[in-house]
């Protein structure tokens, strides 16, 4: 029995190939949904759209400080694992759900597998960096997406016998879900956009949206890019970002702000964009895989592979740097080699778990 723990929509996306592989190989599994970002009821449609089985357990932990949320997550996860005693616990990424699941599994002496192990931004002001480091060092199976992430783990003294370079499940997920998106989504048409002729923006990280100077500079930079290239900008705005835009009274003139969209709609927006400006790690990966140029609105990234293959460039929040980075990326040929694997990571991870069970 494999217990798959997830609590945010990016985790659902990246664990979907693992779930599908378990079904394909007829391996017993259960899904524990912690509700770290959204309640199960809000995420139910997400599982249904991606044609995934619904979770077996739902904690509906909700928000709180890092300490409060992690404590609630650990309490709920422990109860489920004690009652069900799986052979392996799988967690993915760098959220508080991952931290809680990894710690509880390790303390109950249940083997822990960390999907997407070895990512490093080397910025410990990011809570995600702390989460991923801790979980890597308590895990029994470390599923590194790239050779660089494998090198990071070895450099930190983790036993090589625990590390498997599998590729990233985001590749599997994109290939699998893009087909569904093409059939179901009409978001490009409904927003009067033309494929390859608009810019897509996402900004949500606390360090970017919670401080007026930072957020104001980013919005100014985006507006300058739109003016220079005469391209429409579509911005599915995160509720947190919307709240701070209103609080700081920052003008978004020239930017088409829309409500957050479903994953399938967002995937179609990414696929058809001329370029993406984002502060999201996951979107950096997806843009790279989809061959869409990306400008990252951060000073660092835990996805340096995207920069190395020239699919992405770091611009930070300075408007002039944002426009300069856009000038480089918007004229790129999008002919880089995807560094994240062949789309079979989910099956590799399940095969490794099965061999150890």
CB 126 within 8 A of CB 206: no
Q: Is 179 exposed, middle or buried (0-12, 13-18, 19+ CB in 10 A)?
A: exposed
Give the single-character DSSP code of 91.
E
Catalytic pick from 56, 137, 151, 204? Answer: 204
Phi-psi region of 3 (alpha: psi -120 to 50; beta: other; left: phi over 0): beta
Q: Distance between CA atoms of 284 and 288, rounded to whole angstroms?
A: 6
| Residue 238 bears catalytic tag | no
CB 124 within 8 A of CB 163: no
CB 97 within 8 A of CB 91: yes
Q: Distance between CA atoms of 169 and 314, rounded to whole angstroms?
A: 24
Distances (CA, A) of 53 to 2, 25, 29: 15, 15, 11
Residue 203: alpha-carbon gap to chain centroid: 13
Within 13 Å and on the Cβ side, how many CA atoms surround 64?
Answer: 15
Q: Pairing relation of β-strands 275-278 and 256-258? A: unpaired
Phi and psi, residue 44, nearest 5°: -55, -45
Known catalytic residues are 204
């Amino acid at each position: 029995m494999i217990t798959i723990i997830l609590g945010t929509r990016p985790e659902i996306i990246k664990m979907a190939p693992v779930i599908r592989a378990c079904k394909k190989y007829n391996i017993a599994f259960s899904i524990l949904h912690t509700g770290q970002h959204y309640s199960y009821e809000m995420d139910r449609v997400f599982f249904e759209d991606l044609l995934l089985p619904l979770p077996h357990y739902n904690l509906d932990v909700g928000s709180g400080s890092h300490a409060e949320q992690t404590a609630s997550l650990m309490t709920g996860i422990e109860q489920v694992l004690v009652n069900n005693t799986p052979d392996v616990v799988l967690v993915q990424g760098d959220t508080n759900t991952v931290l809680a699941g990894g710690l509880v599994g390790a303390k109950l002496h249940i083997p822990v597998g960390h999907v997407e192990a070895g990512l490093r931004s080397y910025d410990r002001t990011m809570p995600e960096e702390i989460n991923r480091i801790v979980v890597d060092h308590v895990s029994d199976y470390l599923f590194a997406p790239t050779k660089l992430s494998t090198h990071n783990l070895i450099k930190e003294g983790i036993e090589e016998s625990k590390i498997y370079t599998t590729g990233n499940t985001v590749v599997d997920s994109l290939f699998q879900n893009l087909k569904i998106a093409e059939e179901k989504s009409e978001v490009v048409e409904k927003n009067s956009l033309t494929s390859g002729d608009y810019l897509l923006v996402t900004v949500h990280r606390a360090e970017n949206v919670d401080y007026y100077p930072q957020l104001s500079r980013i919005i100014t930079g985006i507006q300058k890019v739109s003016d220079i290239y005469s391209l429409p900008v579509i911005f599915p705005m995160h509720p947190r970002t919307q709240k701070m835009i209103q609080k700081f009274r920052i003008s978004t003139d020239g930017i088409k702000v829309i409500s957050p969209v479903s994953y399938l709609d967002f995937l179609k927006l990414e696929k058809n964009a001329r370029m993406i400006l984002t502060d999201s790690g996951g979107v950096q990966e997806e843009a790279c895989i989809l061959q869409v140029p990306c400008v990252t609105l951060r000073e660092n990234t835990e996805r340096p592979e995207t920069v190395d293959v020239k699919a992405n460039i770091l611009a930070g929040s300075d408007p002039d740097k944002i426009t300069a980075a856009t000038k480089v990326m918007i004229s790129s040929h999008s002919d880089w080699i995807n560094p994240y694997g062949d789309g079979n990571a989910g099956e590799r991870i399940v095969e490794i778990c099965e061999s150890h069970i």
